[in-house]
Amino acid sequence: MIYEFWDLRSNNLINSYDSEAEALKLLREAIELHGDRAVEFLMLIEDDPETDSFRRIGIGSELLAYVRDAA
């Protein structure tokens, strides 16, 4: 699995990570530095290249709630 952050304003991939834990750790750090608005235009997806499928983990405030619940 690959975990990818996407910018919803530009529809561009920001970065990808090998684990969800790593992605969420970096997202928590961004929230600490920049506040809740850091996730306003972000989407996190779980991409499975083996099956050519993906799952949306969260967008914006939904992603913020997910990160807080996972802590």
Q: What is the DSSP string of the chain?
A: -EEEEEETTTTEEEEEES-HHHHHHHHHHHHHHH-GGGGTTEEEEEEETTTTEEEEEEEHHHHHHHHHHH-
Instruction: Give me the pLDDT at residue 70, please.
Output: 86
For residue 17, the cross-strand partners are 3
Number of independent structural domains in the chain: 1
pLDDT, one tens digit per residue, over 34-58 is 999 999 999 999 999 999 999 999 9
**Domain range for residue 17?**
2-70
In single-letter form, the type of residue at position 2 comes to I
Cα 50 versus chain centre, distance: 20
State pTM to two decimals: 0.89
Residue 71 — very low, low, confident or very high, per pLDDT cuts 50/70/90?
Answer: confident
Total length of the chain: 71
Q: Across the chain, what does the average pLDDT equal?
A: 94
